[in-house]
A = this chain, B = another copy of it.
């Protein structure tokens, strides 16, 4: 996707490894988001990594540039290269998301953070799509849904059209910035379906919920699309809770986020 490690297209995680710089960035980036390096200060130096990866300094430095462009590291002349604090990471970048979700079991807190953001963005996107879709963009949503129906029995076959469905809705908003959330949705769905395929059975139950979203969009019902998408995400939230335990609150205690309750309301007032 970026020319980089994230060339892992759908659910497949292991392949990765493209060119030298991508490989190194993949491994180092993964380690950083996993918390192997304290908020500030000092990842291994360039020449240390040269030895460790059997690569030239050129390649290591290119890997550093890839990571620095994603907010994971920063270099200064004599002090060396340091891992940046979490709030500097480009959390909406496809690779950062993938790295953070790939680590054995990503921290549950992060899974819920993702869900909460999806619960904000995707219903709004569905509403916008209901208002703005064209014959072409609508067709790609319908095509993805049709394939979901066909794969309703198999959790792994289901993942790909599911992702396409949600991305097609984002594309139908006719909003460049909304489209960029595809990375988030793709990453999140990747984990969720992986988890679902381990625990739950066939994804068939979610088909009617998707159908409701599509139907609302087809009839240009923005409020309905918003509500239907919210319902769909609430189901996902319940599944995740079943699998990784209940949602963690702030430092402990309070709770917020998407869960039951449909809650109908449009994303934004139409002028």
Contact = CB atoms under 8 A, between A and B. Distances in A.
Interface of A: 1-4, 21, 58, 61-63, 65-71, 73-75, 86-95, 110, 113-114, 116-117, 119-121, 124, 128, 131-132, 134, 171, 174-181, 183-184, 247, 250-251, 254-261, 263, 265-271
The count of identical subunits is: 2
A126 B261 CA distance: 20
Contacts of A1: 71, 88
A13 to B, nearest CB: 20
A87 B270 contact: no
A114 B179 CA distance: 12
B4 A132 contact: no
A181 B265 CA distance: 23
Contact of A132 (B73, B74, B254, B265): B254
Contacts of A181: 92
A237 to B, nearest CB: 10
Given A61-B62, A261-B269, A268-B263, A254 B131 contact: yes
A21 B65 contact: yes
A38 to B, nearest CB: 17
B260 A177 contact: no
Nearest to A122: B120
Centre residue among A71, A74, A90 by max chain B CB count within 10 A: A90
A94 B177 CA distance: 12
A271 to B, nearest CB: 5
A67 to B, nearest CB: 8
A194 to B, nearest CB: 19
B256 A91 contact: no
A271 B238 CA distance: 11
A117 B175 contact: yes
A87 B256 contact: no
A264 to B, nearest CB: 9
Given A113-B175, A250-B174, A269-B261, A69 B69 contact: yes
B117 A177 contact: yes
Contacts of A61: 58, 62
A42 B225 CA distance: 40
Contact of A119 (B89, B261, B268): B268
